[in-house]
Amino acid sequence: MRYGTMGVDFEERVHFERLRRERLAKAKEALKASGLGSLVCYDFDNIRYITGTHIGEWCRNKMNRYCILPRDGEPLLFDPATPAKRISCPWIADRVFPAVGSMRGAIPSETGSVEKVADDVLKWLKEYGVEKKPVGMDIADIPLIRALERRGLEIVDGQEVMLEARIIKTRDEIELLKISAAMVDAAYEEVVYEGYAPGGVAVMVECLTDNRNRTVSDVRDAFSKCGGSLGESGCVSWMFKPRGLIRIPREAGDEDTVLAAALDAGADDMSTEEEFYEVYTEPEDLHRVREAIEKAGLPVENAEITMLPTTTVHVEGKEAQQVLRLMDMLDELDDVQQVYANFDIAEEEIESAVR
């Protein structure tokens, strides 16, 4: 997208009339290919795709707004804001009708609202001569399905039809996706902060932020409160090396069996922790080794690229407690994604900090 979405008279940007037209054409094509006689959609995204209309999120889960797309016919919209839709959506103004329903059971069945919906659906299907063909529905209340079946309609899955229609994007959908992606790229950025915790422990903090000033202030504050200091870029990163890490549950097998399978798969090394075997690879080999391990019949808990320290720093006592507190404070920050550190702290020190 070169120009953005705002309409002007001197450039063609996102063409919303064409977007609605091509979406409806794709829904009709998918319906025809399915062999169904009609679609009855309650899913808001499907309604929007077929009719080009939307309504406030308050109504999304109320199950009282729906559309009917008859085979070889035009869509019919049943909407609680009928007068507004007839004004704001001229492309469907003559096919918008008031919506009734059970509001997911909130309206007592004695009112007959579900029966009224079933009568309306049957009436329109007869109007288009498709009442003898299967009716595809995406989501619906069970009472409504039963009411439709009592009227002799065959109800089948219609969601697959809509997924088939929507899977290939139109040219305008692609442009809108590009804009959405660009907005996210512009709003968020990845930043890495480096510093030292008490005892000379090296710390790397990976963040995803939409406000660098806020994030660096929060990270610096955590370091300061725990007796550490934020450093310049590159001050500690040389002490870490990127590695592929694959975790396998201990119950998957004994250590020798898992180690043999990991090495056969192309892993470099393995360590045994309390709950997992941790298998290490070169970053570029991570996915290949994971696939080989899974093909060998071993379950993989997770696989990721991590940063492992090339050397460790032993800390104890007050310094150990400060380091652990810093790890907790950084972990609590919303912008922080990962924290890497090269401390070596005895197990009893860690347990003491937890208590």
- In this predicted model, what pLDDT tens digit does every residue of 42-82 receive, in sequence order? 999 999 999 999 887 666 677 788 999 999 999 999 998 89
134, 156 Cβ separation under 8 angstroms: yes
DSSP 8-state secondary structure symbol assigned to residue 257: H
How many angstroms from the chain centroid is the CA of residue 86? 34
4-25 pLDDT tens trace: 555 666 666 788 889 999 999 9
Strand partners, 339: 205
Burial of 69 (0-12, 13-18, 19+ CB in 10 A): buried
Q: What is the pTM of this model?
A: 0.55
CA distances from 253 to 215, 269, 277, 281, 308 (A): 43, 17, 10, 20, 25
Q: Is the pLDDT of residue 334 over 50?
A: yes
Give the model's pLDDT for residue 103.
Answer: 75
Q: Which residue has the higher pLDDT, 106 or 265?
A: 265
State percent of the chain over pLDDT 70. Answer: 93
| Helices and strands in the chain, H and E counts | 12, 16
Give the model's pLDDT for residue 353.
Answer: 65
CA distances from 147 to 110, 152, 249 (A): 14, 9, 50
Please state the rounded mean pLDDT for residues 202-206.
96
311, 201 Cβ separation under 8 angstroms: no
Q: What band does 175 get if pLDDT is binned at 50, 70 and 90?
A: confident
For each of the domains in the chain, give its residue range(s) and CATH number, in order of start: 16-176 (3.40.350.10), 189-354 (3.30.70.980)
225-263 pLDDT tens trace: 999 999 999 999 999 999 999 999 999 889 999 999 999
State percent of the chain over pLDDT 90. Answer: 69
Alpha-carbon gap, residue 320 to 82, rounded angstroms: 66
3-state helix, strand, coil in the chain (%, to 5): 45, 25, 30
136: its two tokens: 């595809």
**Which range is least confidently modeled, 26-30, 100-104, 119-123?**
100-104
Alpha-carbon torsion, ordered 321, 327, 328, 331, to 10 deg = 180
Closest by CA to 76, choosing from 96, 55, 91, is 96
What is residue 347's three-state secondary structure?
A: helix
